């Protein structure tokens, strides 16, 4: 079994806003949610720590998320930056409590990364031993950064990647569903991130903000959960021009498993995974498209976004839990990818970027 490095999981959002105890077995979480209708995906969740271990997902990028976008975003949106900061700090402390319990381990530097990779060198044995799942902390949407001084505070507690946008018009930048460039203070945010050594996550940026940010930022760049617009024609996906620019900069895109982002023609509220026949095989088209643009397999990985505001009702038909991401190996082999290629996609490419950023 290959180690998987999943670079986008909203674990704390699930725990604190949707009251899921991620230390429980998946069946028990679903049982506790049976009959609830307050949000999409109740009793259809796919992620818990045991399923991550079972699937060899020994390392992830775990998010903090708290915005104050206008118009209001679909999740994790508050009225003020101070409220949003408060929410992200609760999320940070949740992860730290899991570390105290031995369920997770925060990774902040190369020494911690190397030690954790050694622990997970044999993923089956690590899962059997209930080894902690490692996480690198990321912030999805920068609205909670009350002033730029807060970036230094966040770096000190271990935040290592930031995506300036989520949905809507953010304080510093525009989300993918908006038109326009960086907002007042946005360029200064990005320059300060660069100075401190953060990884810039360009997922969710509007097209104009994407190109402005790429011009301003000199450090390490990734797109944590991003598919190809050439296959699914929507502003949430990246155009070939954007993908090529990321490739030129040495960046990596994490393939994302929200069904509407996997197949063309999805109609919100009407299309279902069953009606569209969405399976994990469809992600192979996005992965292959990026590899063909690059001429190699060095610029794509996994950023599943599973349970990121949806569950099985909006996921591939053949994915019951996050552990099923291991089935990508057979799909990629069927497309002619080698064991070395698959290892790069499963973990190697994003690990290369982390090492580059922290060197």
Cβ atoms of residues 5 and 301 within 8 Å = yes
Q: How far apart are CA 1 and CA 55, in angstroms?
A: 8
Q: Residue 313, exposed/middle/buried by CB under 10 A (0-12, 13-18, 19+)?
A: middle
H-run or E-run covering 134: strand 133-140
pLDDT tens digits, one per residue of 296-341: 999 999 999 999 999 999 999 999 999 999 999 999 999 999 999 9
pLDDT digits (tens, 9 = 90+) for 226-270: 999 999 999 999 999 999 999 999 999 999 999 999 999 999 889
Judge contact between 201 and 211, C-beta under 8 A: no
d(C-alpha 123, C-alpha 121), whole Å = 6
- pLDDT tens digits along 70-88: 877 778 889 999 999 999 9
User: How many residues belong to the chain?
Assistant: 359
What is the reported pLDDT for 353? Answer: 98
Structural domains in the chain (count)? 1
CB distance 2 to 59 below 8 Å: no
State the residue for tokens 């069946």: 27
> From CA 95, how far away is CA 107, in angstroms rounded?
12
Cα dihedral 33/37/42/43 (nearest 10): 50
Distance CA 112, CA 323 (A): 24
Q: Average pLDDT, stretch 167-195?
A: 95
**CA–CA dist 119, 225 (Å, integer):** 26
**HSE (CB half, 13 Å, CA atoms) of 171?**
23
The residue segments making up the domain with residue 247 are 5-358
> What pLDDT is recorded for position 174?
94
Taking Cα atoms as reference points, which of 114, 358, 64 lies closest to residue 219?
A: 358
Say how far apart CA 180 and CA 169 lie, in whole Å: 9
Predicted pLDDT at 77: 87
- The pLDDT assigned to 301 comes to 98
**pLDDT at residue 132, as a whole number:** 98
Q: Which run of H or of E encompasses 162? A: strand 159-163
At 102 the pLDDT is: 98
Asked if residues 227 and 237 have their Cβ atoms less than 8 Å apart, the reply is yes
> Average pLDDT, whole number, for the chain?
97
Question: If you search the block for the tokens 């990734």, which residue do you land on?
Answer: 222
Residue 92 DSSP SS3: helix
**Each residue of 88-105: pLDDT tens digit?**
999 999 999 999 999 999
Q: Helices 281-294 and 240-248 sit at what angle, rounded to 10 degrees? A: 60
Whether the full predicted model's pTM is greater than 0.75, yes or no, is yes
Percentage of the chain exceeding pLDDT 90: 95
Section 52-60 average pLDDT: 98
Token readout for 352 is 């290369």
Residue 172 confidence (pLDDT) = 97
The per-type count for the chain, helices as H runs and strands as E runs, is 15, 9
Structure token digits, residue 290: 């990026």
Per-residue DSSP letters for 215-284? HH--S-EEBSS--BTTTS-STTSBPHHHHHHHHHTT--EEE---GGGTSTT--TTT--HHHHT--THHHH
* CATH number of domain containing 114: 3.20.20.140
Q: What is the DSSP letter of 193?
A: H
| Statement: residue 39 has pLDDT above 90 | no
| Low-confidence winner among 68-77, 105-114, 170-179, 216-225 (lowest mean pLDDT) | 68-77
């Amino acid at each position: 079994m290959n180690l998987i490095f999943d670079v986008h999981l909203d674990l704390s959002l699930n725990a604190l806003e949707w009251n899921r105890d991620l230390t429980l077995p998946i069946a028990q979480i679903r049982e506790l949610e049976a009959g609830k209708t307050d949000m999409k995906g109740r009793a259809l969740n796919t992620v818990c720590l045991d399923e991550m271990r079972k699937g060899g997902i020994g390392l992830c990028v775990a998010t903090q998320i708290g915005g104050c976008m206008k118009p209001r975003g679909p999740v994790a949106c508050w009225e003020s930056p101070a409220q949003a900061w408060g929410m992200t700090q609760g999320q940070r402390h949740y992860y730290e409590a899991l570390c105290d319990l031995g369920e997770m381990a925060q990774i902040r530097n190369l020494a911690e990364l190397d030690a954790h990779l050694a622990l997970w060198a044999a993923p089956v044995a690590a899962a059997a031993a209930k080894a902690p799942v490692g996480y690198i902390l990321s912030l999805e949407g920068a609205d909670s950064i009350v002033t730029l001084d807060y970036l230094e505070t966040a770096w000190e507690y271990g935040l290592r990647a930031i995506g300036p946008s989520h949905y809507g018009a953010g304080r510093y930048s525009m989300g993918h569903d908006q038109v326009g460039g960086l907002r007042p203070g946005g360029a200064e945010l990005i320059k300060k991130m660069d100075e401190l050594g953060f990884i810039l996550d360009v997922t969710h940026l509007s097209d104009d903000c994407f190109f402005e940010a790429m011009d301003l930022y000199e450090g390490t760049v990734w797109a944590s959960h991003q598919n190809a617009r050439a296959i699914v024609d929507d502003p949430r996906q990246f155009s070939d021009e954007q993908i090529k620019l990321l490739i030129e900069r040495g960046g990596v895109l994490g393939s994302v498993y929200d069904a509407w982002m996997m197949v063309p023609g999805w109609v919100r509220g009407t299309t279902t995974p069953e009606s569209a026949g969405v399976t994990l095989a469809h992600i192979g088209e996005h992965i292959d498209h990026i590899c063909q643009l690059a001429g190699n397999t060095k610029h794509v990985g996994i950023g599943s976004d599973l349970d990121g505001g949806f569950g099985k009702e909006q996921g591939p038909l053949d994915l019951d839990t996050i552990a099923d991401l291991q089935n990508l190996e057979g799909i990629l082999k069927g497309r002619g990818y080698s064991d070395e290629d698959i290892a790069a996609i499963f973990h190697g490419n994003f690990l290369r970027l982390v090492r580059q950023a922290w060197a």
